[in-house]
Amino acid sequence: MPEHFHADWLAPDTGQCRVCGSSVAQRYFWHEVYTHSGQALMRCGYCATVYLAPGFSAAGLERFYTGPYRRLFPAEVPWRNRARFFSWRGDTDVARERFALIDAKLPPQGRLFEMGAGFGAFLGQAAQQRPDLQLSASEPDIAQRQALTGQASVHFVESLAALPEQSLDGVAAFHVLEHLIDPRGFLELAAQRLQSGGRLWLEVPDLMSEWQTRLFVHPAHLSYFCADSLRRLAEAAGLQVLYCGAHPVCALAGTLWLEALRTTPPVCRPVSPAAQQQVEAVDQWIARVGWGYRDRIKALLKALGLRVLGPGLIGEWQRWLQHRRHLKRGRR
């Protein structure tokens, strides 16, 4: 285990699925190799969710995100020019396209909450496009959370739990659910905070997307969903799923988009079991991902580059490549 990752950040392994609590037919695939944290990639035989075990304790997760998180993911580290950092990342462009998907579904004077607002780009676009909206959010990175909010007036709270029940018209969480210790608990809380007719919008990485290396798996992502498992989880939280599948925004290929509705007082129920064919499909998909000498060399070179050049310069290179790919897509 590397120096920047501490074993005492992890909770005891109960042998149970993080999502449904089952301990039946849990399958081990391999140990996490991005940081060698000691966590193992598992698949639940009941609900087909894929997850890392053991997970973090609440205190350990906080220490992870306030400590090594940004150093582990160089694309998150600004380098020299802050304006270029955000431009090459494309936060504002993506936020504009995200908001376009939900704008018409929010009522006048609607109350919109974003979980894990990051740099605040989505909130900034929401305020710019719809100044009538009442915006609230949670984001633990106090120093960065208003970097892109512009003139938006945002009420920041510690968590969604701080808001009254049935007080919201919309809840958005983009690339958040996979980071949570208790993803089902968050969905149940969202259902309680939405008023009747309120909507939830989620983005998560698609387990069934074209990932080719075990480096896809890392400690920041505790759970991995396919469209089928994500849908069943939202339904278990008492939500009516309107859409769950490939993301409508081309720039977010490889991401799932879920839109769900609160129609009646939410009734939580056990997560329904996955069909055996779904469990087998997940197993076959993950089993195809090897870990040969080329993968090991790539991981070693990245670690060496981070040590010699530092995360800032490596992150700048990664953002430039991302920016170049975005420009090429725009020319097609």
Full residue range of the structural domain in which residue 171 is found: 82-271
Do both 185 and 326 map to the same domain?
no
- pLDDT band with cut points at 50, 70 and 90 for residue 99: very high
Residue 3: the pLDDT is 52
What CATH number did the domain enclosing 194 receive? 3.40.50.150
Final residue belonging to a domain, choices 221, 236, 271:
271
Taking the C-alpha atoms of residue 146 and residue 99, their distance in angstroms, rounded to an integer, is 17
Identify the residue with better confidence: 154 or 76: 154
Q: State the burial class of residue 144 (Cβ atoms within 10 Å of its Cβ: 0-12, 13-18, 19+).
A: middle
Average pLDDT, the chain: 93
87 in a domain, yes or no?
yes
Query: Both tokens of residue 206?
Result: 């698609």
- pLDDT band with cut points at 50, 70 and 90 for residue 1: very low
Residue 7: the pLDDT is 82
Do both 171 and 252 map to the same domain?
yes
Do both 262 and 323 map to the same domain?
no
11 in a domain, yes or no?
no
- Sequence-distant (6+) residues with CB within 8 A of 91 are 118, 119, 121, 148
End-to-end alpha carbon distance in the chain: 44
26 in a domain, yes or no?
no
Which among 190, 194, 170 has a CA at the least distance from the CA of 180?
A: 190
Final residue belonging to a domain, choices 271, 301, 317:
271
Do both 310 and 236 map to the same domain?
no
Helix, strand, coil percentages (3-state) for the chain, rounded to 5, are 40, 20, 40
The model's pTM: 0.94
Answer whether residue 87 shows pLDDT above 50: yes
Answer whether residue 331 shows pLDDT above 60: no
Q: Residue 199 — φ and ψ, nearest 5°?
A: -125, 150
Residue 5: the pLDDT is 77
Residue with tokens 């991401």: 255
